[in-house]
Structure 1
């Protein structure tokens, strides 16, 4: 594909500074770009590479428009603009067209003729697969599952019975949707399994990374809201609710019945206890342990959680702990010696 900068600027809603008739044939990182490529700078630490890049044009933010000697496309958000161009220049192609005769589709399943089902996929009775859906080899779709238009289910995903998958959902390899929640009653003699009779609902435009799991509800539903983005190796327990536009980094674990509001950002390796509420637009630092409710708009971190600025102060002290321990021990010894002297004086 080839496009002029003028055409690109219209797509990314940007302004060209320089020759608008420059032809672009690819998108590349700033240190690898060659003539004919367009690159971008979204992080200031890469700004020092601008002079050295061979790219024919650079996507930049408004505060960098004073750069001289380069052809620029000024946009409000370079990273968003990059995403648009990558989709345009490198569209994702799924090789399978239609329903493979080597896919196993049980009687009673409803599969759109416009869906793309790869060999060795298994679709149970009562399942409904809408148009534009792509299902890769090794996928298991349980009975009465619904998968909305244009969703992509990569290899070896398992979607247990009765779960609902919205439109344009992406499930990466190894994802399990609707496995039993971790529900057991401890009697003192044994662990008694509590049947998990609920389901999972995943709304439109959700993406879930490889080997992540979303457990079905004990009763009712586990609910992943619209446009939620979940990284690899994330565990979502039974009856959890995650509000729309939230983002969870890798290795997050959320215990049962915890509810996240809209636009929540959770750093990697964070753990949350069950039955708590995290408000809208909360930001949680990586490797935190959330043990109680968090009010909307708060920024927290640490183990246990605390206000972010307080957590930074605590972290800054960690490397000084051995020195502080030595100082405290010395002061304690001095106080003990003073107490002995005072006691002798009083006698």
Structure 2
């Protein structure tokens, strides 16, 4: 159990009101009960939180309340992200190897790791401290899995993949499948062997049913702290920088390079061999066919600078009315024309 004051201390926050009351849970304002902590980023949210049964509210600096105890913090969302694990800790997986797991004699599995049912660990694989393979995971020959890695059920890791520390990969994702490489030869498409690998740096999270292909020759690289959503396809030899955000259903063609802090919104397609600069932002459902400079935001298909794209959308919306007026003008001009002119 936590008190308001003990939570504020952990968050570096300031208590406004009675800090001795117990906090037993966390909930949104419309579902909060006595004992719950909720949060409010805006005055309208604060009104809803004050009308709720919540015992305390996380707020930014400057907020006041006559009816609720507040914890003032720099950023309520960041504070909530720190609070939630206190009340909803991750499932603990005890160290050990399930009897149904198949582990090659040359593999090195740390004694603190958890290997769940029906896992297959190939030759010369290493699994680091406290890492968890939940079940049905296949780890290919020569792969390296760091410390505190968590592979959810049915994640498949192809050979020679390198995974850093504190990486999370969700169910159904495949890392290191062959890249899409073919050459046309005598009337048929001949497969170009994909002999590279995948390197995933520390603190990466990859959603469910994603696919990250191995490089054709060198590696496909996912930079430290990058977060990849569900149903994303990363083609061979793509290189992502640090702390990128890739949202659902994004597709990358081969050999594109992302610098650090790139954000790509859902259902966008990125052509091959491009460069996306630091803090570039790609709007949802965009088709990127050119390099994007650092800090630029683009939208649309083909993607254009956001202001330009918005002007184009406004102009497109005005086309039906413009066409109607054009037809009226054409009729007027036709009526004004003299015979034989």
Q: Which bracket does the TM-score occupy, shorter chain normalised? A: over 0.9
- Which residue, out of 257, 270, 273, partners 1:272? 270
Q: CA deviation at 1:247?
A: 0.3
TM-score, L = length of structure 1: 0.93
**Between Structure 1 and Structure 2, how many residues are aligned?**
341
Distance 1:343 1:244 in 2: 72
2:288 is equivalent to residue 297 of structure 1: no
Q: Structure 1 residues 335 and 264 mapped into 2: Cα distance closer, same or farther (>3 Å)?
A: farther
Change (3 A) 1:177 1:42: farther
CA distance in 2, matches of 1:171, 1:21: 40
**Which residues in structure 2 correspond to 1:85-100 (within 5 Å)?**
85-100=83-98
Query: Alpha carbon RMSD of aligned pairs, Å?
Result: 1.8
CA distance in 1, matches of 2:339, 2:287: 47
Instruction: Show CA shifts across 1:303-336 (max 9, x none).
Output: 1111112222333344433223322333345456
Name the CA distance, whole Å, in 2 between partners of 1:324 and 1:100.
70
Separation in 1, partners of 2:332, 2:93: 78
TM-score, normalising length from structure 2?
0.95
Tell me the alpha carbon deviations over residues 107-145 of structure 1, each in whole angstroms, 9 at most, x when there is no partner. 111100100010101100110001110001111100001
Structure 1 position 6 matched with structure 2 position 5: yes
Q: How does 1:52-71 map to 2 (within 5 A)?
A: 52-63=51-62, 65-71=63-69
Q: Does 1:284 align with 2:251?
A: no
Tell me which moved more, 35-44 or 278-287.
35-44
For residue 128 of structure 2, what is the aligned residue in structure 1? 130
Secondary structure (helix, strand or coil) at the match of 1:211 reads coil
Kept after mapping to 2: 8 A contact 1:212/1:232? yes
Q: How does 1:1-347 map to 2 (within 5 A)?
A: 2-42=1-41, 46-63=45-62, 65-187=63-185, 189-335=187-333, 340-341=337-338, 344=341
Partner-residue secondary structure (3-state), 2:50: coil
Ranges in structure 2 where 5+ consecutive residues have no aligned partner: none
Q: Which runs of 5+ in 1 are unaligned?
A: none
CA distance in 2, matches of 1:45, 1:183: 54
Aligned CA distance change for structure 1 residues 33 and 195 (closer, same or farther; 3 Å): same
Shift of 1:263: 0.5
Partner Cα separation in structure 1 for residue 207 and residue 213 of structure 2: 15
Gap change, CA 1:195 and 1:25, over 3 Å in 2: same
Q: Match of 1:328, SS? A: helix
Separation of aligned partners in 1, 2:189 and 2:43: 54
